[in-house]
Structure 1
Amino acid sequence: MALVLANRTDGSGSRLNAFLNALYIAQYLGDLSYAKILWIGSTRDNTGANKNHIIGSSLDKVDKIFSQNFINTYCIHTLPKDTRIIDVTHFKSLQSLKDSFFSNKYDYFITPLGSLAWYFHDINRNKYRAMTLYLWKKLDFLPEFNYPISKAYEDAGKIGDFIAIHFRSGDVIYDYFPIRKHNFLAMSLASCCELILSLIQNELLKNKNQTIVIIGDDLDSIQKIIDFHNNPNIVSTDKLRENDTYHYNKEFQLFLYDIIFLSQAKKIYTTGSALTKIAYLLGNADYILSNNIFTPQECYKNFKQFYGKIIFSPMQRAYSLFQLFLMGSKTYENISILKIYLLSALDLDPDNDKYRIYFLVLLLQNNEWQEAEFYLQNILNTRKEEFLETLFFYTYIGYVYQNIFNSFLSINASYPSLFTIKQKIQSLKLLNLSNDSFSINLRPLGAPYRFKSHLSYKLGQALILNSKSLLGYIRMPYVLSYIKDKHKQEQKEYQEKIKKNPSLKLPTLESYRDYKDALKIKNTLSYKLGEALIKADSSGGGGRIFAPLFAYITFFKEVRKLKREFRDKQIRRKI
């Protein structure tokens, strides 16, 4: 007989989310006993988390969480060898999964995280969420976990309508767990403090009386954010529980409280943690990914605005500086500023080679190869083993820093330390290194060309060139009309291109390295003449009969004035 299996080895949230989905599919198939969960692992050591005032992992032995009846009914402890397994996301509908389930092709159907409605087109979202709440109540937790569940419902009911912001930090940011060094492996699940502050600001701009509840594991940082706002409508679940702490002597009790409390929100901001996915399924809240709210430009502006307003822990500040580096890399920030972000992060978290790796990448992508060689030599002389272990760390997704390996491939033997890294990368025989590779949007050159592509400059150039002969004067109206029409068509085509592919949008003129020098073009005779002509043309089409005549008389006066000014400038230069 086939079974529907929740087979997760990570945290409690992922395991429960996958098992709720197994139960849902099992009831669709006609028998809840088809659902099983493989719960492997023991109590995790939370010493490091507790030292930093972090709510640690809620994972515990299965008999420390569930009743014996639940364990007997739903738990399995091993998978037999040669088991035939398929992921349920292979199917596009519950009906096609059901057909396969009873065909005896597979032994186990493995369930995913999140909402099954994201995978199967024949699921009604509202009915699915209502059924998940019903199935949640079938989970037979030990009696000690009943209180936090009922208390969370009670506390949320007292608050009324509220927006929840889930602030995930913990092992992704702090130094009691090595995953913070492993590039983007778990970074998408973490929030930097400045993102939380930006979300709060965004909501308060919509409604200054809005109740906002912050739920998270970094209790000190959450309290500092609440103190900073000094707003009675901004609270935390930790504060709501503070007079009731004797009921919460296990992390799993806090975990259950937060799930239920979150489920009662009208809106959940989240980085996508399993805890919030369960909460979404148990309630009616909108599920909003925090990292998708702002554009990179908005993020960078907000993060710079808030960084340093509150003095968070060194680990949090280091993580925030790395986020500033990433946002700055996308928005053409000056390379000297990007260097400061990484070096400052390294000062705060000196054991984190992630910052050394990206500083090296920054130098390489800016063609500062000699400086990169010296920098790498120093690293290899002081912490070679730790650095190389991090750079070539391998996990279930592959090499975690594969996205930056491409930066080393143009190095030649003149830079021996860098060349050794290149050879190591090449020996791995990885395919498609250029795919999804990390790149820094260095401030480009070319502002003069951009200014010369302005209509003002092109018209002014045509006016000067065609004013040198009688034939030029005769054909001037046709030339100017042609330039104007062609410019209009080019602008239309450009807008259509960036609508289809926003990445083709040109950077702002201010972001160019040669912007200040290029500003001189705006003061040239060509540019000024073009501006005057455009002004005359736009003001000459009004309702009055003589408006065009007066506009162009003004234009020719402006031409004489501009010529006189430029002639005087040339005379002064000669003197």
Structure 2
Amino acid sequence: MIFKDIDLFDISNQATINIIENNIYLDLSNIKANGHRLNIDNRLVECVRLSSDTITSLNEWMEIINKLEISFDNIEWIEISNKNFILDKSNRIEINLNEKYKIKFIKLNINNKYSNFIDKIKIEILNRKFPGLIVEARSDGFGARFMTILNAMYLSSKLGYKFGIVWPKSSHDQKSLKNLDNNELAGVYEGDEEFIFDKEFLNSYSYLGKISVANILRGETHDINDYLKTPHSENFGYYVSYDITGLQGLDKDYLKEYPKLWKQIKFAKPVNDIIDDINKKTQKYFPNKFIAIHIRAGDAVYDYIRSGLDAYWRKMMPNEIAMALIDENLKINNDIVLLGDDFTQLRELKKFYNNKIYLIEDFIDDTIVGIKRVIFDIVFLSKAKEIYSGASSFAKTASYIGLGKRPTYYFEYFTEDKMIDIIKNYFNKDLNLHPYQKSYSLLFLHNLCLRKNISRDELITILNEGRSYDKDNCAFIIHIFSHYIYLKEYDKADNVLGILFDMPDFDWLYKFMIHRKDSIHIYKTFVAHTLKYSKIKYQNISYMAAKISIDTKLPKNRIFQYIQNYLLGLKINHRSKYLLNYYIDIAEKLNISINQINSQVEITAKNDSYLKSELENKKIDLKNQIDINRSNEILLQNIKSENQKLQKLNADLSLAYNAAKSNAKNYLSYKLGQALIKASKNWYKGGYIKFIFEAIKITKEHKKRCK
């Protein structure tokens, strides 16, 4: 059972219990109303729990219990599946009903062989003390997890629910990127729940192992009162997102409650020690408070997900924006503390500003590393009088628990025109930054300029400069491709797209793009352009169109066409296998087979017995090749993918066969027949594809002569 004993109360002592033969009847109809706000009459039961001192296994319980039935009117009964029977750690059998039924009567049928056990079975009828749980259950970053905990605490307090947390261990602690080209990065740490929270808090609110992880990325946009409707979205209640700003009916100033909620969380001693240390240091060094600038970079600038920067581009803060904020606050003599996940960048900035600014590490002991460092940073950040940041969960959490409001987002603080000027004026200062930082700044600049009246050629120039700092960033290629399409330079678009397929992060980007093609504009545009401009002469566009059409499950005729555009260009390479297999499968389903080509051969040879004999032999040989060599994908593709082209020649073939035999060599039928024989001899070199083009050429020449 998901719920803890402290979440439930037992109403069995108020029930009327009757034992008739091997049945135990429980009448709940007269129980007084004492349930939660959505179950005032106690008719929604969470669980029936059975226990006995002598029964210790699930098999024993299943042997003793024939069935459990429930009823509302004592006339119609519903049998509860034994899939709902679970043995708990105390060897009690739980029959979970999850408040799905209105119940007044319960009947427990005991196997006749065990009728003497009836009086040894203790029955509990358990009801919830509250409508359900509102649960944080993320597995990503520390900030996103804590934002969701605070949201769960707030909503549960407003709606009469209980909040719960699921804080799983994460491989990020060991595997996240912490160093690149001697550039020191913070990495991602979540830690264990036992290290962060005290035991009492976990005993009350942790549902780790009971409720699964659910990384809900969408924000909540429904009405807040929807939480009070049944049935709930989950058996236990609801998962909650880290973003509830879109909830309808939410109090305007709800974030003002978050500093109080933060103080209600009971932390383990190591965390309390960190909080106490920060309180002392901030009071000592910053009695008049300080300005904090949180420069988010980390995985989104350095790791593979940088290829999807268009989805995250305002989450990170470009170095140039940070410098503009530093200069602005130095002019008014504000104390400035820099925080971020690129430690090398922060040290470079302090050096550049001749130690006029502080870094968070100036106040950290050597023992504060890993998850301790994460906690130190977020709590220290919360002590600022103003927090400048991108749309990072880390900075949001700090601002929520310290200031009771959102941080100051730099992209709202500065206008877009101002940010364009800042990037251009501050770019490439005398800072020893990693090239990826410069790459990100230029992609950010491009995305700003894209919203302005700036020529496509200039945008391509910005992208090419950005790509010079990061050759493996797929985002640049996606944008350059789109700009060439808008410029109607389709050959250039096709050529630049060819670079994408061999980039190390292409597979990740492709999956990410397909998943978000309807929610992110650049991906939606890219897919539309790829499908629109799939032509035989644009091989790379055609390949991408074929791949997208398969993975987005477009109609088969469209898939067929995109694949054919690629294969007809004679682009037989390592990518063909994937498309050939799929194409052959479609062809078979559409009944495109060798028999259709055979019918063409029959018509071609019907007036020439010698030619017919030769073609029959070749046809038999060809059929044998297909039967024996089914795995030869190129052969099958050559036959099947060109079938439609062959059918278009039918009319010309029929005319030619009526011509005089004496002049056969001058007639279309003879020339086509000879070309087909030649093709069959060279099938392994793509003879059948070449035959199509040869047949079209012969037919055109014939028509000219007939005029």
Q: TM-score range by the shorter chain?
A: 0.5 to 0.7
- Which residue does the alignment assign to 1:227? 351
- CA positional deviation for 1:418: 1.7
Aligned ranges 1:75-90 → 2 under 5 Å: 75-78=206-209, 89=220
- Is the aligned partner of 1:417 residue 2:545? no
The structure with the largest strand share of the pair is 2
- Is the aligned partner of 1:345 residue 2:466? yes
Once superposed, which parts of structure 1, at least 4 consecutive aligned residues long, lie more than 6 Å away? 101-106
- Is the aligned partner of 1:407 residue 2:529? yes
- 1:376/1:43 CA distance change after superposition, 3 Å: closer
- Which residue does the alignment assign to 2:600? none
- CA positional deviation for 1:238: 1.8
Query: Which amino acid in structure 2 is aligned with residue 107 of structure 1?
Result: F
Point out the more displaced range, 341-350 or 42-51: 42-51
Aligned ranges 1:495-514 → 2 under 5 Å: none
- Which residue does the alignment assign to 2:363? 240
- Which residue does the alignment assign to 2:272? 146
In 2, the alpha carbon distance for the partners of 1:106 and 1:388 equals 36
User: Which structure carries more relative contact order (alpha carbon 8 Å, separation 6+)?
Assistant: 1
In 2, the alpha carbon distance for the partners of 1:113 and 1:88 equals 7
- CA positional deviation for 1:355: 1.9
- Which residue does the alignment assign to 2:386? 267
Relative to the length of structure 1, the TM-score reads 0.64
Equivalent residues of 1:345, 1:355 under 8 A apart? yes
Q: Give CA deviations for 1:196-249 in whole Å, capped at 9, x if unaligned.
A: 122233444xx43122222211111122222223362x22212232xx222x03
- Which residue does the alignment assign to 1:48? 177
- CA positional deviation for 1:395: 7.2
Query: Which amino acid in structure 1 is aligned with residue 418 of structure 2?
Result: E
- Is the aligned partner of 1:184 residue 2:184? no
In 2, the alpha carbon distance for the partners of 1:338 and 1:16 equals 39
- 1:228/1:285 CA distance change after superposition, 3 Å: farther
Secondary structure of the 1:261 match is: helix
Equivalent residues of 2:292, 2:384 under 8 A apart? yes
Equivalent residues of 1:4, 1:109 under 8 A apart? yes
Q: Which residue, out of 26, 39, 47, partners 2:156?
A: 26
- Is the aligned partner of 1:363 residue 2:484? yes
Query: Which amino acid in structure 1 is aligned with residue 354 of structure 2?
Result: N
- CA positional deviation for 1:305: 0.4
Query: Which amino acid in structure 1 is aligned with residue 335 of structure 2?
Result: T
Query: Which amino acid in structure 2 is aligned with residue 16 of structure 1?
Result: F
Identity rate of aligned residues, in percent?
Answer: 24
In 2, the alpha carbon distance for the partners of 1:355 and 1:362 equals 11
- CA positional deviation for 1:169: 0.5
In 1, the alpha carbon distance for the partners of 2:497 and 2:305 equals 23
Secondary structure of the 1:190 match is: coil
The structure with the largest helix share of the pair is 1
| Gap regions ≥5 residues in structure 2 | 1-127, 556-707
Secondary structure of the 2:294 match is: strand
- Which residue does the alignment assign to 1:65? 196
Q: Give CA deviations for 1:318-364 in whole Å, capped at 9, x if unaligned.
A: 11121122223233444444333323333322222222222222222
Q: Give CA deviations for 1:52-88 in whole Å, capped at 9, x if unaligned.
A: 311111212323332333322211134679x9x9x99
Q: Give CA deviations for 1:249-299 in whole Å, capped at 9, x if unaligned.
A: 3x2222222222222222221212222222222223763211222232221
In 1, the alpha carbon distance for the partners of 2:510 and 2:219 equals 34
- 1:355/1:376 CA distance change after superposition, 3 Å: same
- CA positional deviation for 1:302: 1.0
Relative to the length of structure 2, the TM-score reads 0.52
In 2, the alpha carbon distance for the partners of 1:430 and 1:113 equals 34
- Which residue does the alignment assign to 2:134? 4
- Computed over aligned residues only, the root mean square deviation of the Cα atoms, in angstroms, reads 3.3
- Which residue does the alignment assign to 2:240? 111
In 1, the alpha carbon distance for the partners of 2:189 and 2:443 equals 28
Equivalent residues of 1:3, 1:107 under 8 A apart? yes
In 2, the alpha carbon distance for the partners of 1:417 and 1:203 equals 50
In 2, the alpha carbon distance for the partners of 1:414 and 1:304 equals 39
In 2, the alpha carbon distance for the partners of 1:21 and 1:213 equals 28
- 1:104/1:200 CA distance change after superposition, 3 Å: closer
- Which residue does the alignment assign to 1:162? 290
- Is the aligned partner of 1:328 residue 2:449? yes
Aligned ranges 1:518-537 → 2 under 5 Å: none
In 1, the alpha carbon distance for the partners of 2:232 and 2:543 equals 54
In 1, the alpha carbon distance for the partners of 2:408 and 2:334 equals 17
- CA positional deviation for 1:368: 1.5
In 2, the alpha carbon distance for the partners of 1:402 and 1:26 equals 38
Q: Give CA deviations for 1:20-40 in whole Å, capped at 9, x if unaligned.
A: 222233333457xx2111222
- CA positional deviation for 1:172: 0.3
